Amino acid sequence: MKYLVTGAAGYIGSHTARELLMRGAERVVAVDSLERGHRAAIGVLERLAPGRVRFVEADIRDRRTLRETLLAERPDVVLHFASFALVGESMGHPAMYWSCSAGGTASLLEAIQAAGTRRLVFSSTCATYGVPDRMPIVETMPQRPCNPYGSAKLACETMIREQVEGARRTGGDFGAVLLRYFNVAGCSADGLLGEDHDPETHLVPSALQAALGTRPALEIFGTDYPTPDGTCIRDYVHVEDLAAAHVDAVAGLRPAECRSFNVGIGRGFSVREVLAECERVVGRPIPAKIAPRREGDPPELRSDPSLVMRELGWKPRHVTLAPMVESAWRWMQANPAGYPR
């Protein structure tokens, strides 16, 4: 099969493109603007599968290029990752997030329709739930996002769902799967693909950067949350397990249906617990300081992944922090400055 992956030079997109190639994809068309993705990550994919990867440098809001690419390639499935993904940044720059997520997804759906592609897997987020009334989070709970990042992703879900419904009304069989996942950590086991954001805001790489001395100290944003140790609790999923979930979702696509699944391990870890695991892995204390809460951060987000396990047959191979932190530390030690620029 032939796949088109948007955001393929990013953290999750590159790992998923790699998973597709490892599972025998005939061709992967990797689309990325490189505004926040890395050409070096595409290079890893090209070396892993010579002749099976085509890179297109384009913003998904570039309707003409996107349409031309899909018409030329006619992919069987599109996997859509391209977006900005920083909650804090979205609070100060909401229009940027709406433009990229909602505007980009509208552009992509138009190109998909023009090319006659019938399958889409969308990278959504648990941020669409906002601050849930109870834990764990199941797919039927209300979606009430509390930040522009989550709001824009929810708008994308709505567009995709309506596109499926519109196709069904006109006799088409376009189908989609929406994956709402939780916090992601870790790097590829072979050390070829990693996590490299600028700025880096994710907890595990931020703690490891503090351990390396490439940032002065880890900031713990709030210690007065209604949790056992006062810090936020999140459900962490290994990036390779998440990549596998996206590929499993391809097999779970149904004609003229839009299906939604939570992807997590069903267990939460606090900021202090993650820091303690990072210190165990690096073998020394990591400098940290208390900072004010970040606006838009819910106290706890934890999934109930039973539906995705039952319906798609997905099961995480890593259910503790150790393999996530250990793989991230290996990559960061080998690439202290991140991917080559």
Same domain for 118 and 75: yes
The answer to whether residue 114 is domain-embedded is yes
The pTM for the full model equals 0.96
Same domain for 171 and 218: no
Number of structural domains found in the chain: 2
How does residue 88 score in pLDDT terms, banded at 50, 70 and 90?
Answer: confident
Owner of token pair 């499935």: 77
pLDDT in tens, 155-201: 999 999 999 999 999 999 999 999 999 999 999 999 999 999 988 99
Residues 6+ apart with CB under 8 A from 82: 6, 7, 10, 13, 31, 32, 33, 60, 100, 104
Same domain for 253 and 220: no
Same domain for 142 and 7: yes
Same domain for 79 and 56: yes
Same domain for 78 and 211: no
Q: What is the CATH number of the domain that holds 39?
A: 3.40.50.720
Same domain for 229 and 94: no
pLDDT in tens, 197-248: 988 999 999 999 999 999 999 999 999 999 999 999 999 999 999 999 999 9
Q: Is the pLDDT of residue 143 over 80?
A: yes
The answer to whether residue 187 is domain-embedded is no
**What is the extent of the structural domain holding 50?**
2-182+238-263
Same domain for 114 and 84: yes
The answer to whether residue 188 is domain-embedded is no
Task: Return the half-sphere exposure (C-beta side, CA atoms, 13 A cut-off) of residue 264.
Answer: 24
Inter-CA distances, 1 with 42, 255, 271, Å? 19, 17, 41
What does the chain come to in residues?
341
pLDDT in tens, 27-54: 999 999 999 999 999 999 999 999 999 9
Q: Is the pLDDT of residue 107 over 90?
A: yes
What residues are annotated to the active site?
A: 149
| Residue-averaged pLDDT of the chain | 96
The answer to whether residue 16 is domain-embedded is yes
**pLDDT score of 224:** 97
Same domain for 172 and 63: yes
The answer to whether residue 194 is domain-embedded is no
Q: Is the pLDDT of residue 86 over 90?
A: no
How does residue 65 score in pLDDT terms, banded at 50, 70 and 90?
Answer: very high
Q: What is the DSSP letter of 127?
A: G
Q: What is the mean pLDDT of residues 93-106?
A: 97
Question: Can you tell me the distance from the alpha carbon of 270 to that of 303, in angstroms, rounded to the nearest whole number?
Answer: 14
Same domain for 106 and 29: yes
Q: Is the pLDDT of residue 148 over 80?
A: yes
How does residue 297 score in pLDDT terms, banded at 50, 70 and 90?
Answer: confident
| Apex 111 CA angle, 108 and 117, nearest 5 | 100
How does residue 330 score in pLDDT terms, banded at 50, 70 and 90?
Answer: very high
Same domain for 128 and 175: yes
Same domain for 277 and 316: yes
The answer to whether residue 192 is domain-embedded is no
Residues 6+ apart with CB under 8 A from 289: 217, 218, 219, 220
Share of the chain above pLDDT 90, in %: 94
Q: Which amino acid is at 243?
A: A
Question: Can you tell me the distance from the alpha carbon of 120 to that of 106, in angstroms, rounded to the nearest whole number?
Answer: 13
| Token code pair at residue 71 | 């018409």
Q: How many other C-beta atoms can be found within 10 angstroms of the C-beta atom of residue 131?
A: 13
Q: What is the CATH number of the domain that holds 300?
A: 3.90.25.10
| Token code pair at residue 44 | 């890893």
**pLDDT score of 341:** 81
How does residue 295 score in pLDDT terms, banded at 50, 70 and 90?
Answer: confident
The answer to whether residue 228 is domain-embedded is yes
> For residue 65, with 0-12 CB atoms within 10 Å meaning exposed, 13-18 middle and 19 or more buried, which class applies?
middle
The answer to whether residue 75 is domain-embedded is yes
Q: Is the pLDDT of residue 296 over 80?
A: no
Torsion region of 13: left, alpha or beta (phi above 0 gives left; psi -120 to 50 gives alpha)? alpha
Question: Can you tell me the distance from the alpha carbon of 157 to that of 165, in angstroms, rounded to the nearest whole number?
Answer: 12
